[in-house]
Amino acid sequence: MKIAIVGATGLVGSVMLKVLEEARYIPFDKISEIIPVASEKSVGKNLFFNNMPRKIVGITDAIAMKPDIAIFSAGASISLQYAPLFAAAGTFVIDNSSAWRMDENIPLVVPEINASLLNRNTKIIANPNCSTIQLVLALSQLHQHLKIKRLVVSTYQSVSGTGQKAMEQLMNERAGTRTNMVYPHPIDLNLFPHGGTFEANGYTTEETKLLNETRKILGDNSIRVTATVVRVPVTGGHSESVNIEFEKEFEMQWINKLLSSTKGVVVQDDPEKSIYPMPKYAEGRDEVFVGRIRRDESQPNTINIWVVADNLRKGAATNAVQIAAYLMNNELVKS
């Protein structure tokens, strides 16, 4: 396959290249060419992939090169403008922005859950929001067997979810040096309940994404979801406190069994030994970690869980590469 990475010099784009370099999902012998794509200021410069220099090209030239797959992480406006042009040239587009996620004609895919939606005609594929991916993967088997009625989600999101400039703000604050303010407040030794932009109903765009994307991926608009997004001074890894109400009764042993059998999920739940998921140890990993699994004793058929994952890997880059691998392995794209 010939694979283009649009936004290759950005934070998520660089992780996409790293995941491809690891060859965990797509072997090197299946990739004939990597095409790094970036803005005009980077065109002509070299970017290294697998210890070999690759010349960065502009997006128009990349379309003309007709890659088999183009993985986008360059913002919604770029995706809206150029993804259809790649698709018209026969390229499968896997888009990491919010541009296409809620389009009813575009599949929103977490491969372990709904890759069966993909076919030769799904030329544009949406990669979900980072906090949504880890949430729905943890919920997928639980919903299938017990049917979720309601979710109360509080997320504790790392600054890497905002981008490289937010990482610089945190590190500069920690070092006591002057910094450009990406956030409306200092983030070091602080946290604030603000992710995305505020909407008329008082919720933020990040909170609304959790509602809409969860319903779409799990294929159930009856699930009630309420969310609060919190930004925390962590460099990598999102954490989520999730309260889940089911329609059916259950035994806790079954909950643990379902979570342990969910592909891509690792259960870390031994409170007596202080074992539970933490972003410090999830960073750099592709799995979604679940712990603090316990019954909510305030109402029936309800549990609490704690979900942690690396937002740049499974929350973005890894999920996109897994989609590309599915396209290849199921011969939806030539290999």
Residues with catalytic function: 130, 238
CB contact set of 282 (below 8 Å; sequence gap of 6+): 237, 289, 308, 309, 310
Q: Among 171, 185, 287, which Cα is nearest to 231's? A: 185
| Beta sheet of 238-246, edge-to-edge order | 224-231, 148-157, 238-246, 302-309, 288-295, 265-267
Give the whole-angstrom CA distance, residue 115 versus residue 266.
Answer: 20
How are strands ordered across the β-sheet holding 2-6?
A: 33-37, 2-6, 69-72, 92-95, 124-126
Secondary structure class of 317 (helix, strand, coil): helix
Residue pair 183/162 in contact (Cβ under 8 Å)? The answer is yes
CA distance 295 to 157: 25
Token pair of 16 as six digits: 């996409």
Q: CA-to-CA distance for 238 and 253, rounded, in angstroms?
A: 26
User: Which runs of consecutive H residues, i.e. helices, occur in 233-273?
Assistant: 252-260
β-pairing, 52-55 vs 124-126, is unpaired
| 191: number of Cβ within 10 Å | 14
Q: How far apart are alpha carbons 271 and 291 in whole angstroms?
A: 9
How many Å apart are CA 122 and CA 330, to the nearest integer?
13
> How far is residue 320's CA from residue 314's CA, in Å, rounded to a whole number?
8
